[in-house]
Amino acid sequence: MSKLVPPHGSDTLKPLLLEGKEREEEIKKAQRLKRVPMTSRETGDLIMMGIGAFTPLDGFMGYDDWKSVCEEMKMPSKNGLFWPIPITLSAEQDLADSISIGEEVALWDTETDTLMGTMRVTEKYTIDKEYECKQVFWTTDTKHPGVQKVMAQGPVNLAGPVRVVSESYFPEQFKGIYQRPAEARKIFEERGWSTVAALQLRNPMHNSHAYLAWIAIEVCDGVYIHQLLGKLKPGDIPAEVRVRAIDALVNKYFRKERVVQGGYPLEMRYAGPREALLHGVFRQNYGCSHLIVGRDHAGVGDYYGPFDAQKIFREIPEDALKLRPLCMDWTFYCYKCESMASMKTCPHDEVAVIDENGNYVSGARLIISGTMLRKMLAEGKPVPKEFSKPEVIEILREYYASLEEKPQIEVHSKATGQVNPKS
């Protein structure tokens, strides 16, 4: 009997990935079906359904589920199951018009030209894209990368159950990191863990990340460093570089019996609070009892308050998730405490002043963020040693040195500490 938290809305994982002869037959059948092209976001969602990470979904959502998820974060088709973000598939009008209800179609990843699965179309519907953006992203500003994706969708959504035949390039390109939920659960069970804290990562691991992970290990059996392997917005560090940097830090600065690394194939939506809840849903499917929720979880720019993701966990029904958030305050390095600290522990209010060579001048708190780290590296500036471990900085400097055109990175107020941290 497993001691781990059960999957979301189910006693068991519900993977939709076919294997063996059944997979071979589905691939043959798909050659005769109409092709529906998928974006990288839709492909990632399909793979998550395939490996059981989106348990208990059985396909792309219909109109009633889409509308209810936007409004109330509930799925009528699953007896009101909690779900925070619509999982939908769009198509161009001409293609949608050519597809009959009940017809099977082949799902193709347009970027890799790969057959990913099949779907029996049970519904075709249109949506108010601005309404979805306002509900999910809390904005309709087209500068928001998640809003851009929704507004670029085709005009018709197709719904229906899916059968998945591929995990794309993830198992090979990220061998040793990419994991299915069943694989992660097996590792946790073999270690005898019952409480597991997930650390969501889309950036290389700096000292604030490490500090949060060490705190989680103190209160849970172990920590699951779970990094996103799908697409990011321009200017973010690609997954293969991030994997190397995280490996360098974990292998030297963590007890190996208390940490597991994994990766998942989803694309960032940058939906802030709503995406934090989605992270909670699929981390529960991976076997995690807790999710570390720090400053600006899954956020971008200044669209969300620094702790809105923590607030939303307190607003959902108690029984919405079995997983619980580990809410962490603003963390930083304090030169007066001479250690990592947080707003809850450190009495020194002054922001630290660092000279052009990355050396400490005065003050106390050095706010550490992935955005600021990327900006310093992109501009070739010295990085204070308190920001991240030297092994990590070396890998990142090598990456930025290889770029012919350095990205222009804008630092928002939440990354500098120049806003009210309790807002």
Alpha helices of 99-238 — where are they, by DSSP H?
A: 129-136, 145-151, 170-173, 181-190, 207-219
Residues 6 or more apart in contact with residue 11 via CB below 8 angstroms: none
The encoded tokens of residue 136 equal 């999910």
Round to whole Å and give the CA distance between 267 and 278.
12
Tell me the chain's radius of gyration from C-alpha atoms: 22
Structural contact between residues 176 and 268, judged by C-beta atoms closer than 8 angstroms: no
φ, ψ dihedrals at 275, nearest 5°: -70, -30
Q: Could you list the active site residues?
A: 202-203
DSSP conformation class of 325: E
One-letter identity of residue 309: A
Buried b (16+ CB within 10 A) or exposed e, 17-40: bbeeeebeebbeebeebeebbbbb
CA angle 100, 104, 110 (to 5 degrees): 105
Alpha carbon separation from 233 to 75, 203, 373 (Å, rounded): 29, 12, 16
Using CB atoms within 10 A of its CB, is residue 182 exposed (0-12), middle (13-18) or buried (19+)? middle
One-letter identity of residue 352: A
Q: Which of 67, 72, 100 is nearest to 84 (CA)?
A: 72
Q: Tally Cβ neighbours within 10 Å of residue 346.
A: 20
Residues 6 or more apart in contact with residue 97 via CB below 8 angstroms: none
Q: Identify the helix (H) or strand (E) that includes residue 60.
A: strand 59-60
